[in-house]
Amino acid sequence: SPDVNGMIIKLIRGGRICQAYEVFSILLGKNFIPNIFTCNSILFSLCKSGQSYVTLSLFYSLRKKGFSPNVYSYTAIVLGFSKEGLWKEAYCVLKQMQDEGCMPTVVTYTIVIKFLCIYNKFREAFDIFKAMDKKGCPPDLVTCNVVLHALCYHGSFTEAYNFIQVMQEKGFIPDQFSYSALASGLLKAGFVNKSTDLLSQVIFEGNNTVDVVTLNVYFHSLCCNGKVKKVQGMIKSMMEKGFVPTTITYNTILKGLCKEANTDEALLVFDKFSHGGNEADVVSFNTILSAACKQGNSSLIRRVFTRMGIEGIKLDTIGITCLMQYYGKIGKPQECYTLFKYMILHGHIPSTITYNVLLDSLCKNGFLACAYRIFHEFKNMGNFPDTTSYNILINASISKSDYFFTKHLLTDMYRQGLQPD
């Protein structure tokens, strides 16, 4: 049985969750409860895959069989509910664990704070952050980095810089996580040069640990400045000194080249994938596919498909959305809609962007009424609609001089708790 425990954990580490769960179930069926490390690993991986209610019932049935949970077990379930934005449930588990004398750790709170921020619940996130000291469980550097990342991601840089100040006063020295969070926030907000400058300092002037992620953000910032060639040169010479790029490094370059409309060069980089240790992934393919779709380059689209088939990579939501955009662009909204139905049929969940692309494709081809019907059909699925969804419809209504409808859309937008940008 020690071997079985180890086996399950190895399966999980290798990402083979289903097999791990299968083995786990067989053991339970024989009334054998694996050790707590193994049970916790299973609970975590189930929660991470977004099945928190399944996890919860597994948790209860384990307990009936004599499993006694520890703080890791509860933290797993808190993670699951937080990740899905099920806050009532998450808080309930937090309370229940304390009632049972199992105190949350800094990790538990950090998880809750991270997901509260992702769901735009900053007020509550900050309340928990402040309450941690009183609970005898003060924030650590990871907690600070989570908060810092949220601030930067939303473009609140004044607050971010103040926060770093406070961090330092408390003795937390910003590390590579802090700097890459700050730099990528700056990039996202369009402060490209600030991002590059910050990372140049971190990488070349300080004696900081520089890892591949920090470098990837740095390369990204250079690419945003049109310096792809420079990046390619740097990587080449760094590799001679032992630097090992990742697939993300290459994908960043791919995107940079595509943005310069240099798809030929991009394809060359793409070909090098198979030679190095890195393999092209679905992001690499989507990057090329997106460029091909924007150019209306159908032969390149076909080449990407062929290649994906050979490498056994399946189209995902983003890839299909690119194609939908292509069909909208070449005046075939019906094909766009067909693809949309295809993706649902094949079990892909459309994202808000997918819905928006569909709406825009219909609107741009003169089917505003149809777009509005679909808008209603999918309203409140996930985050849809967002501000962009309304912008698309409003733009179409104005093009048709249907200002009555424009006004209706604006009213509806406020009713959804959204504001014009």
Partner RNA sequence: UUCCGGUGCUUAUUAGAG
> x/- string (CB under 7 A) for RNA, residues 198-227?
-------------xxxx-xx--x-------
C-alpha distances out from residue 163 to 53, 59, 156, 269, 347, Å: 36, 38, 10, 40, 42
Of 51-59, 158-166, 182-190, 295-303, the segment contacting RNA by CB under 7 A is: 182-190
User: What residues between 7 and 36 interact with RNA by CB under 7 A?
Assistant: 9, 35-36
Helix, strand, coil shares of the chain, percent, nearest 5, are 75, 0, 25
Of 24-32, 234-242, 263-271, 318-326, the segment contacting RNA by CB under 7 A is: 318-326
Q: Angle at which helices 263-273 and 247-259 pack, to 10 degrees?
A: 170
Query: In the complex, what is the shortest distance from the CB of residue 57 to RNA, in angstroms, rounded to a whole number?
Result: 19
Q: Which one, 52 or 321, has the nearer CB to RNA?
A: 321
| Sequence-separated contacts (24+) of 18-22 with Cβ below 8 Å | 20/45, 21/45, 21/46
Query: In the complex, what is the shortest distance from the CB of residue 138 to RNA, in angstroms, rounded to a whole number?
Result: 10
User: What residues between 254 and 293 interact with RNA by CB under 7 A?
Assistant: 254-255, 282-283, 286-287, 290
70 vs 250: CA distance, rounded Å: 42
Residue 93 binds to RNA (criterion: CB under 7 A)? no
Query: In the complex, what is the shortest distance from the CB of residue 47 to RNA, in angstroms, rounded to a whole number?
Result: 9
Residue 83 binds to RNA (criterion: CB under 7 A)? no
Residue 397 binds to RNA (criterion: CB under 7 A)? no
Best CA proximity match to 394, nearest among 382, 403, 384: 403
User: What residues between 106 and 135 interact with RNA by CB under 7 A?
Assistant: 106-108, 110-111, 114
Best CA proximity match to 93, nearest among 139, 148, 52, 33: 52
User: What residues between 325 and 384 interact with RNA by CB under 7 A?
Assistant: 325, 351-354, 356-357, 360
Reading the block at residue 25, the tokens are: 């179930």
Q: Give 205's DSSP letter.
A: I
Residue 318 binds to RNA (criterion: CB under 7 A)? yes
Residue with tokens 């890892």: 211
Half-sphere exposure of 193 (CA within 13 A, CB side): 0
Determine if residue 160 is left, alpha or beta; phi over 0 gives left, psi from -120 to 50 gives alpha, anything else beta.
alpha
Residue 295 binds to RNA (criterion: CB under 7 A)? no
Query: In the complex, what is the shortest distance from the CB of residue 258 to RNA, in angstroms, rounded to a whole number?
Result: 8
User: What residues between 44 and 73 interact with RNA by CB under 7 A?
Assistant: 44, 70-72
Q: Which one, 145 or 196, has the nearer CB to RNA?
A: 145
